Structure 1
Amino acid sequence: MNCLFWNIRGIGIGEKIVPIRSLVEKKKVTFMGLAETKHKRSVQNRLKRMWGNDDYDFCEVYASETNGGGVIAVWDKQTFIASSKHMGSRWILIEGCINSYNFECRVGVIYGHNDRMGRCAMFEEIKQRVVSINKPILMLGDFNVTLHAGERTGSYRCDRSMNDFSEWITDLRLLDLPLHGLKFTWRRNESKSRLDKALCFLINEWRNIPNVPLHNKLKILKTPLKAWRSANFDCMDNKIADFEVVIHDLEQKSDNRMLDTMEKARLNAANSFLHQWLIRRERIWRQRARSYGFKLKDHNSKFFLAATLYKKKEERD
């Protein structure tokens, strides 16, 4: 099941429909969460245009009288069969089954309050609901709070809110899934934060999926792992070459004139990214070398055993 979350900041703006529909079709999305929709009445007709067909179900929480909040969850009825829906003032939790694997789980969409007291009340409300339903869970949302200091720069840091969020995640045994691409999901002037997150709890229940042997579970992971490797590592040499070209061109310009502020920033960024990719490539080479060495030892185990026995015999003599 492919999931998409977007803090849309107003679903009434027509020009947002086309990019959302394009993403849904390109990524083959089967579950979509939208936050900060600011809608006060049903938007089913607009959702149909976003989704692209009639084969969907949805759940919505309207915005407040001050145009704050608003959450929508949309999913493909053939892929995810919903059995129950739970809603709060700024969150939706759908309980159901992934049809292709007969895998019962819960998927949630959350838009956190801007104030600490509102968030704490929402966290407690969700916690009670999650604990009462003992099933795997995936929660997507803009939580409006960071988990640690490294997720925020250039603005005031609230340690109490971060502690509240961290304790809530720990109590529910949730895992904060890493993001690819940009480090921060919210920006304003010099302030940056990672407010959007995907939290899951799957490990214990994953081992007990009924009627699915372990080797089939591992097969399920094979395709997404191949896609992840292809997206992140197969193009490694091309990315290194691209950064080298950018650095070479800018350094050539610097021989003839002073670089402006934008060009200096590009040069520094290119050098930094090039360094990161070179380190990554070196690590990959080392891992492959070690793997290749282990394979050779396996193929030549008879030789290594004979050499070891011969050495012991020499020591005894």
Structure 2
Amino acid sequence: MLCLVETKREVVTKFDVVQLWENDAVGWEYVGAEGASGGLLLMWDETVFKIGNCYKGDRWLCVEGELIKRSFRCAICLVYGAHIRNEKLVVWEELSFLSGLCKVPFCFMGDFNEVVKVEERKWATTLTGSAADFKSWIQDMELVDLDLSDRLFTWFRGQSCSRIDRMLVTLEWLEEFSDTRLRGGPRGLSDYCLVVMEAARVGRGPRPFRSLESWFTHEGFLRMVKE
């Protein structure tokens, strides 16, 4: 699957998609840009992924369907985050509703326009309020923020650098693809570098146990573990 953020295209045609994909065995959905701002495009191999439903917001695009060979139902959501804190909260609330609506393993990916660690923004010394909000949202949604091991930043402009592009997956996704990993690709002429997700099912014995920080903030968690 190929996901593009900031296409800057109000309308995307099949001709555009086939030129990018280089054959016509491609499914696709898009959210048009507003003038020269924004725009989202999702493309996939129709022999690999069968779409069931598509949902769209101003800043996100979600396809729900099945990975055919695995008979694995899932949803993939491409996100282009807002710049203002209140607007970011609205987007995250919409994504929470979407997750509850689909009720399948999820992968959220894209430009979230936010960091979750101080070291993910060059020269930053503290997390902003919206960054703290974003970190709490990830924990509340019980999402796993996949590590990008070979690159510290994904966005560059002048002397400014941040890691605002990420992939967040549910535990059910990792149960199916326990060897999911991210790697950085070339930056080219863009402000952003390419981010590649490689997902594989590895049948090498028991699956690893994973815990979430948010569990330990629940009042009855430690008592439940003890019992």
Q: TM-score range by the shorter chain?
A: 0.7 to 0.9
Aligned with residue 169 of structure 1, among 125, 133, 138: 138
Which stretches in structure 1 are left out of the alignment for 5+ residues?
1-30, 208-218, 224-317
Paired amino acid for 1:38? K
Runs of 4+ in structure 1 off by over 3 angstroms are 155-158, 202-207
Aligned with residue 169 of structure 2, among 200, 209, 214: 200
- 1:51 counterpart residue number: 21
Instruction: Please give the TM-score of this superposition, normalised by the length of structure 2.
Output: 0.74
Q: Tell me if the contact between 1:154 and 1:190 (Cα under 8 Å) persists in the aligned partners.
A: no
For residues 62 and 176 of structure 1, do their structure 2 counterparts lie closer, same or farther at Cα, with a shift above 3 Å needed?
same
Paired amino acid for 2:202? L
Which stretches in structure 2 are left out of the alignment for 5+ residues?
177-199, 205-227
1:92 aligns with 2:92: no
1:148 Cα offset (Å): 1.6
Instruction: Please give the TM-score of this superposition, normalised by the length of structure 1.
Output: 0.54
1:152 aligns with 2:121: yes
Aligned with residue 114 of structure 1, among 83, 92, 98: 83
Q: Tell me if the contact between 1:135 and 1:205 (Cα under 8 Å) persists in the aligned partners.
A: no
Aligned with residue 81 of structure 1, among 16, 26, 50: 50
Q: Percent identity?
A: 29
Q: Tell me if the contact between 1:186 and 1:194 (Cα under 8 Å) persists in the aligned partners.
A: yes
- 1:36 counterpart residue number: 6
Greater relative contact order, per chain length (Cα 8 Å cut-off, separation 6+) = 2
SS of alignment partner, residue 220 of structure 1: coil
For residues 136 and 38 of structure 1, do their structure 2 counterparts lie closer, same or farther at Cα, with a shift above 3 Å needed?
same
1:190 Cα offset (Å): 2.3
Aligned residues: 181
Distance, in Å, in 2 between the alignment partners of 1:81 and 1:43 is 20
Distance, in Å, in 1 between the alignment partners of 2:86 and 2:8 is 21
Paired amino acid for 1:41? V
1 or 2, which has the higher helix percentage?
1
Matches within 5 A, 1:188-267: 188-203=157-172, 206=175, 220-221=201-202
Distance, in Å, in 2 between the alignment partners of 1:192 and 1:157 is 15
- 2:101 counterpart residue number: 132
Paired amino acid for 1:143? F
Distance, in Å, in 1 between the alignment partners of 2:90 and 2:143 is 18
1:42-61 superposed Cα distances (whole Å, 9 cap, x missing partner): 23312211111100110100
Aligned CA RMSD, in angstroms, stands at 2.1
1:263-299 superposed Cα distances (whole Å, 9 cap, x missing partner): xxxxxxxxxxxxxxxxxxxxxxxxxxxxxxxxxxxxx
